[in-house]
Structure 1
């Protein structure tokens, strides 16, 4: 159910991602007529390339949906492993996991699972972004389809080409993931405590 909803969301947001990518990559030096803004980009893409151009990169985008499933599954599995390691051979074996883990544990869990989820799914982001580039002056896109991106990237850049930009991406996302799970787990603890006290 969650995957189906994510796929629907991907279909609805892909045109916005195409426009965002185009606006980020455009420079006045490389285009005869740069987009003046969001609306102009939408209309120009539709007029010059057709409505289907707004869905370029949808196939790798659907694979990126798996990121959430990997992220949440990895978090739960790693959380259980840390609880098991902390309780193994100690007097706190029957203690509630909420009392065993602290904010530092949640921060490490969030950061680790973010990396674990990003590594296998990041190449799909690169493929999608490259597909969404604006065609050259002759109107012919640089890449025909996802497979063409994969072949060209592997041929000219190797495996490293599929991970371009991952360092700044992780530098943004790791602290966010850590803080998210610190807040999430501590709020959950407070709600459980409040429920018990009622």
Structure 2
């Protein structure tokens, strides 16, 4: 009988926190740069009515590149980088919650489910206002807009970067007050808490199943690199309908999740709930590989010296 292996999990208390946070910020920034264009494409696809502008992910990529240039794929990117803060809060909450839940359950699935959901709750409370601003910037096309607010163009690059952000913030505040920066907060929670809560258990599940099917000398990191995208595709497929509704609530200024859902179903039918799914999976797959490999490597690099000899990779 083949010897069964377990994917080794490095616990939070075994890490050098300073190294972990520094490496983590650098890694997250590299990921954001690589996948941001698909985040923008996903948002535009989810907001557009039918196929009024783009016929799909590839069509949107080509059209944006042709009409707006490479910079068009990075609209709102600088604002979006502030979510790096929420990313670190997410990881910290996830690891601390796993540690707390471990006192009551040894099940890796239970620990991952509770920790993933809790981490997403904390992160979204920080991320939503940043997402609101960056999404409205994403909607600005050359000479027009897909969203509620239209920003005046400027020839000054400094004004183009910082002036547009300021203008969006002012328009959101004038239209909705402070509440406008948390529009769609409940929809975000209903999207990302299940997404996070589902991703972690599936990630560990796929890793454990692959470890049983592969030879004993197969590197753990390779199994984790395969498990991450599988989990991301699963979670994205399950939560994409709510993600479409979230995007519309936030960009179009709607107040009701239920009415937004009914309108979407009336106008576009069930297929409307799949909008942006391919772009979401495309952006999630490579980024998840980097996140998983980077995150596991990051934990290894941050491991305190006294625990080095106890690990077998």
Does TM, normalized by the shorter one, top 0.5?
yes
Q: Deviations over 1:131-156 (max 9, x none)?
A: 111537xx145236222221111121
Residue 34 of structure 2 corresponds to: 12
Per-residue deviation, 1:58: 0.5
Residue 165 of structure 1 corresponds to: 184
Cα pair distance change 1:181/1:11, threshold 3 Å? closer
1:119 is aligned to 2:141: no
Aligned length: 169
Q: Deviations over 1:98-129 (max 9, x none)?
A: 4x222667654443332122101211111111
Alignment check: 8 A CA contact 2:77 2:134 kept:
yes
Q: Deviations over 1:150-175 (max 9, x none)?
A: 11111211222122222122123323
1:69 is aligned to 2:91: no
RMSD: 3.3
The match for 1:59 among 58, 75, 78 is: 78
Gaps of 5+ in 2: 1-22, 152-162, 206-309
Alignment check: 8 A CA contact 1:22 1:134 kept:
no
Distance 1:173 1:42 in 2: 25
Cα pair distance change 1:70/1:79, threshold 3 Å? same
Residue 128 of structure 1 corresponds to: 134
Q: Deviations over 1:43-84 (max 9, x none)?
A: 22222222211110101221123222101213344566x58x
Cα pair distance change 1:2/1:37, threshold 3 Å? same
Residue 86 of structure 1 corresponds to: none
Per-residue deviation, 1:179: 4.9
In structure 2, the residue corresponding to 1:145 is in which secondary structure? helix
In structure 2, the residue corresponding to 1:36 is in which secondary structure? coil
Alignment check: 8 A CA contact 1:59 1:146 kept:
no
Distance 2:67 2:200 in 1: 45
Give TM-score, length-normalised by structure 2.
0.46
Distance 1:182 1:40 in 2: 34
Alignment check: 8 A CA contact 1:79 1:109 kept:
yes
Residue 192 of structure 1 corresponds to: none
Alignment check: 8 A CA contact 2:128 2:188 kept:
no
Higher relative contact order (CA 8 A, sep 6+): 2
In structure 1, the residue corresponding to 2:141 is in which secondary structure? coil
Alignment check: 8 A CA contact 2:124 2:188 kept:
no
Gaps of 5+ in 1: 84-97, 187-194
Residue 38 of structure 1 corresponds to: 57
Cα pair distance change 1:23/1:73, threshold 3 Å? same
Give TM-score, length-normalised by structure 1.
0.68
